[in-house]
Amino acid sequence: MVAKITTGKNIRGALHYNENKLAKGNADLLLANGFMDDSDTLSLHDKLVQFREFTDKNKRTKTNTVHISLNFSPKDELDDEKLKKIAMTYMEGIGFGDQPYLVYQHFDAAHPHIHILTTNIREDGKRIETHNLGKNQSELTRKSIEERFRLIKAEDQKKEQAYMLRTISMGKPQYGQSETKAAIANIVTEVMRTYKFTSLAEFNAALRQFNVTAYRGEPESRMYQKKGLVYSISDGDGNRLGVPIKASSIHSSPTFQNLEKRFGQNKERRKQHKSRAVKTIENILTKPEAKDLDGLKEALSKKGIHAVFRTNDQGRRLYGVTFVDNVTRSVFNGSDLGKHLNANALHQKFNIREEIPVDTYPKNQSQEETATEELAQGRSLVEEMIQGLFDEVPGEFLPENRPRRKKKKRRK
């Protein structure tokens, strides 16, 4: 865990920074310590008033704002409850346990992290010393938390920075623009090591975010029968480009046999992250911006979830859905999260045929009469279609132009 502490003179500005993230769907408020109401019911005004009740008691102190970020490794096993406990333990350790503070989880980076906003002015108006806070109390507390919650240590976390996937800054590799094998190897190694997938399809759902695809060959091919695997750079639709690279040639050995070993392990590892995925998707489905699949996908991406929808060639039938939670690095099929989030349920939600309400029938005309009229119109339309078929047939094949068959004489 890496802790960063920033002090300032404008608590309103720091509060607006986190609240803007919250409003845009790029953050969640996990905890409001020392506030009268629950975090779900607090308004921006409520939060600011609570902080000012403390800061106004010591106007001589200009530096009255403390903004902390706790950064974790993608390999850390984290959920909302664990993050809350870590935040409370940290604040107690640095001497801010009795202060009002807000804990936000941000989703705007490839690694899990939280922001904690508080003030160093106590309720009695006295100031909490922040000089060397990061060097002394924070360092001791950080190391204790790493041991207690079994987190990746800061020293090891800094070493792995070079190997962490950074979706925005890293960019997606393209042929002719980067060393193909090195680009593929870095992405495949990191995804295999940190994402929790239980099948090759789920592995691919995570890989394709970075324009890489794993391929076993056609079922009847020798490569498929021998459980071979190759990796290729691919376009946004998953179409493979250029010359593939054998899995066995990559230093981390991401072969199909090694992936299979992880399938069962990852089923247990991702269980604790299921509730966050379900809660997030259910919440987004109630939002007006999720009016169709495209809107749902865009809204989920702001929460760190990449949705993969599989439709038929005409795009009219949704037959598969996979959710990649990039915050917890867990991959789920829709059916794994519940029947209400599987492909069939989402298809029905976004492809509902409108029925004519009873009160929209013309005045003085009953529903039965309208149905009879529509049936008559339908018959007329069918007759016109049949006639149209004959109109397009050459004249000699029309019934009236066909030669009549001679009747055979009966033998007496």
Block residue for tokens 């409370």: 88
| All residues at 6 or more sequence positions from 266 whose CB lies less than 8 Å from its CB, including other chains | 196, 197, 198
3-state secondary structure at position 213: strand
Q: Which helix (H) or strand (E) holds 86?
A: helix 80-93
CA distance 318 to 312: 7
Spatial separation of the C-alpha atoms in residues 255 and 249, rounded to whole Å = 9
Model confidence pTM above 0.75: no
For the domain made up of 2-161, the CATH class stated in words is: alpha beta
- Encode the chain (412 residues) as per-residue pLDDT tens digits: 999 999 999 899 999 999 998 888 888 999 999 998 777 788 999 999 999 999 999 999 999 999 999 999 877 888 899 999 999 999 999 999 999 999 999 987 667 899 999 999 999 999 999 988 888 899 999 999 999 999 988 877 665 544 444 432 334 555 444 467 778 888 898 899 889 999 999 999 999 888 899 999 999 999 999 999 999 988 767 788 878 899 998 888 999 999 999 999 999 999 989 998 999 999 999 998 888 898 999 999 888 899 999 887 665 688 899 999 988 889 999 999 999 999 999 988 887 443 333 333 333 434 444 344 444 444 444 444 444 444 434 444 344 444 555 555 566 5
CA 370 to each of CA 40, 209, 355, 374: distance values in angstroms, whole numbers, following the listed order: 51, 52, 14, 6
In terms of residues, how long is the chain? 412
- Domains of the chain, by residue range, sit at 2-161, 172-269, 272-412
pLDDT tens per residue across span 52-74 = 999 999 999 999 999 999 999 87
What single-letter amino acid sits at 331? Answer: V
Instruction: List, edge to edge, every strand of the sheet that includes 113-118.
Output: 2-8, 65-71, 113-118, 101-106, 27-33
50: CB partners within 8 A, 6+ apart: 34, 35, 36, 100
